[in-house]
Amino acid sequence: MTVPKLALTENTDAAVGKTRADVLVIGTLQGEDGPELAAGADVADAAFDGKLADVLGTLGATGKAEEIVKLPALGKLPAGVVLAVGLGKQKDGTVTAEQVRRAAGAAARALSGTDRAFVTLSALDLQATAEGVALGAYAFTEYRSAKGDGPLAKADLVSPAEGAPRDHKATLKAATAIAESVIIARDLINTPPNDLYPASFADRAKKLAEANGLDFEVLDEKALKRKGFGGILGVGGGSARLPRLLRVGWKPAKAGKKVALVGKGITFDSGGISIKPAAGMDHMTSDMSGAAAVLASVVLAAKLKYPVEVTAHIPLAENLPSGSAYRPGDVLTMYGGKTVEVLNTDAEGRLVLADAIVRAAEENPDYLIETSTLTGAQVVALGNRTAGVMGSDEFRDRVATIMQSTGEGGWAMPLPDELRADLDSRLADLANVSGHRWGGMLVAGIFLREFVAEGLPWAHIDIAGPSFNTSAPWGYTGKGGTGVPVRTIAAVLADIADQG
């Protein structure tokens, strides 16, 4: 894990003008007639005799989102280079936190190999800048023999003009912890499936739990069998690397609301006997993104001492075809006793989740948040950057609204009752897939709902698209694991701490 060292610098012209750094980062806005300078750019502008916006315009800059222009400072600043990063257009006279986060991330990506940058975007929003810089600088080089230049090592962030220094320190601490947790998730997702399998995921989770004072419990295949976790055992039976179920818990000193988290942990999804096509199957290394996100979230709750009890339940299995694999036609008896007819072994996520959801409800939580790379249909419906949020009406809307405010992007989707009949089974209480391909994301949500305790407010976040970036880097998101929805879960926990 690599997060650049972030420090605060006083927001005075004298302090900004004296801070030694390799690069001075300023923000630009996309104005009607060319680029405009964002707050924090005064000292850089003075070094260009107040003509920095003109100079940037002459070079063809517009201030559009994530545009990067580098200029030599010609000895007039303690930094050798000025880097102007576009924030895009203002909306109603302001710049959103997400615009700042993306600009900060784009700047950090452009600064790989740089030892020290001085960043003024924090004059607009300290938290967003800190998160953007830390996440944008992230690179997963574990498996490269030549590590290259390395990410940006240190960043000094100018304090916003408003607010007390103490608050700024607290903001920076929270932002750093949040970014570190997103990176915990990204590292797990980016680790290839030959090294990350149920038992090794469990080992890593145990180390994290020990380091952060969390309760930790792991059920191995024998314990799963004894207790009747038929979904997890069914899915995990085809692999020589047998399944696990983890419970990782944070308990604050003073009891607050109880939140259960559940995350899909398929360490590799080949589809099983209902095998997937070869093209793009490697992408299924990321089928444990939900597990990574809920583990990282409970670690975060402990680091920031949220006054909320948070327990992550993480079912881990590898979905492979073999002589011991489960088959289409099998009937599984799930934890709690419901039976499921398996019609497609590639609809495995809902089976391991059902067991974990029933297990989670035994502890009588006030809320349940479950997240999973559950359906290709999510990507068809909402694309790669917008998660589908389902569940009980009120809590679903609350989570979707918060997900939009974090910039992770989520949209509330319905669970239409009429789809339940499509899961009727010839043999068992229900089947794991419907007989058609319509509304696949919602059908999966309907399946999960069958296992959620009556009256428990819950949200299901389908992150099949948003959890893994297969296209070019953008904003603070590189290729590979994104860490979505860690920041959303963090914000929901903070909201529950605040509002109940």
Looking at 341-349, 361-369, 467-475, 478-486, which segment touches Zn ion (CB under 5 A)?
A: 341-349
Contact 467, 391 (CB under 8 A): no
* Residue among 101 and 244 whose Cβ is closer to Zn ion: 244
Q: Return the one option of ligand BES, Mn ion, Zn ion, none that residue 463 interacts with (CB less than 5 to 8 A, by type).
A: none
Q: In 3D, which of 20, 10, 123, 152 has the Cα closest to residue 77?
A: 20
Residue 197 CB, shortest distance to ligand BES, in Å, is 16
Using rule CB under 5 A, residue 466 touches Zn ion: no
Q: Return the one option of ligand BES, Zn ion, Mn ion, none that residue 344 interacts with (CB less than 5 to 8 A, by type).
A: ligand BES
Among 36, 98, 125, 269, binds Mn ion (CB under 5 A): 269
Which residue has its beta carbon closest to Mn ion? 346
Residue 139 CB, shortest distance to ligand BES, in Å, is 23
Sign, CA dihedral 323-327-330-333, equals positive
From its phi and psi, is residue 404 left (phi > 0), alpha (psi between -120 and 50) or beta?
alpha
Residue 346 CB, shortest distance to Mn ion, in Å, is 4
Tell the residue number behind the tokens 């580098």, with chain if given. Answer: 70
- The catalytic position among 258, 303, 338, 350 is 350
Q: Return the one option of ligand BES, Zn ion, Mn ion, none that residue 11 interacts with (CB less than 5 to 8 A, by type).
A: none
Using rule CB under 5 A, residue 269 touches Zn ion: yes
* Residue among 64 and 276 whose Cβ is closer to Mn ion: 276
* Residue among 75 and 435 whose Cβ is closer to ligand BES: 435
Using rule CB under 5 A, residue 349 touches Zn ion: yes
Residue 345 CB, shortest distance to Mn ion, in Å, is 8
Q: Return the one option of Mn ion, ligand BES, Zn ion, none that residue 440 interacts with (CB less than 5 to 8 A, by type).
A: ligand BES
Q: How many CA atoms lie within 13 A of 216 on its CB side?
A: 17
Q: Return the one option of Mn ion, ligand BES, Zn ion, none that residue 289 interacts with (CB less than 5 to 8 A, by type).
A: none
List residues near ligand BES by CB under 6 A: 269, 287, 344, 346-349, 373-377, 379, 433, 440, 464
In the residue annotation, 116 being an active-site residue is answered as no
**What are the structure tokens assigned to 379, written together?**
């990507």
Which residue has its beta carbon closest to Zn ion? 269
Using rule CB under 5 A, residue 287 touches Zn ion: yes
Residue 113 CB, shortest distance to ligand BES, in Å, is 33
Residue 464 CB, shortest distance to Zn ion, in Å, is 8
Give the orientation angle of helix 126-136 with respect to helix 165-190, to 10 degrees. Answer: 30
* Residue among 64 and 283 whose Cβ is closer to Mn ion: 283
Residue 321 CB, shortest distance to Mn ion, in Å, is 12
Q: In 3D, which of 156, 91, 155, 99 has the Cα closest to residue 128?
A: 99
Number of other CB atoms surrounding residue 484 within 10 Å? 30
- Residues whose CB falls within 8 Å of the CB of residue 298, separated by 6 or more in sequence, listed in order: 214, 248, 249, 250, 261, 310, 311, 312
- Print burial letters for 39-62: b (CB count within 10 Å at least 16), e (below 16): bbbbbbbebbeeebbebbbeeebb
Q: Return the one option of Zn ion, Mn ion, ligand BES, none that residue 190 interacts with (CB less than 5 to 8 A, by type).
A: none
Residue 229 CB, shortest distance to ligand BES, in Å, is 18
Contact 389, 484 (CB under 8 A): no
Q: Return the one option of Mn ion, Zn ion, ligand BES, none that residue 433 interacts with (CB less than 5 to 8 A, by type).
A: ligand BES
C-alpha 55/C-alpha 34 separation (Å) is 11
Using rule CB under 5 A, residue 346 touches Mn ion: yes
- The catalytic position among 154, 276, 385, 420 is 276
Looking at 267-275, 402-410, 453-461, 480-488, which segment touches Zn ion (CB under 5 A)?
A: 267-275
In the residue annotation, 479 being an active-site residue is answered as no
C-alpha 384/C-alpha 378 separation (Å) is 9
Tell me which residues touch Mn ion (CB under 5 A): 269, 346, 348
Tell me which residues touch Zn ion (CB under 5 A): 266, 269, 287, 349
Task: Provide the annotated active-site residues.
Answer: 276, 350
